[in-house]
Amino acid sequence: MSLENKYFIRFNFSKEQIEHTLSGAYRDISISETDAILDVKFTYAYMALIKGGIALLGHHQLKIKSIPGHQAMIIEKLAQILNDQSIEIMGNTMRQKRNQDFYSGGIEVTEKECKEYLDFVRSVLEKIEEHILSS
């Protein structure tokens, strides 16, 4: 089974579905930017990144399967489509930190880290929106 078949299926997403998912990503980044709790900021920034990736995949008529490793694949495809390896590096850093929080009893996120993550995710969402609008 190829990687594409293991993680993705072709799916005919409507423009409205893609817009709704991207809107959800922007809602999450907005929550992240306005909440005072650092863990909430981080969690919502990560969710915004993943939802943005899902919207971009939907634009390319790809649907991710919910199997182990699927969020890593969203991040990888996001970096490939936007031709920006920094997305894979920073996205995986966030994913690993989130996994550490989930499976290793919690994390501490600093204010400086949160600012870096928020700036990064905001810029990725803007690239996703630009890509969708231009193609």
pLDDT at 108: 85
Q: Which residues contact 106 (CB under 8 A, 6 or more apart)?
A: none
pLDDT tens-digit profile, the chain (135 residues): 355 688 999 999 999 999 999 999 999 999 999 999 999 999 999 999 999 999 999 999 999 999 999 999 999 999 999 999 999 999 999 999 998 877 877 778 899 999 999 999 999 999 999 999 998
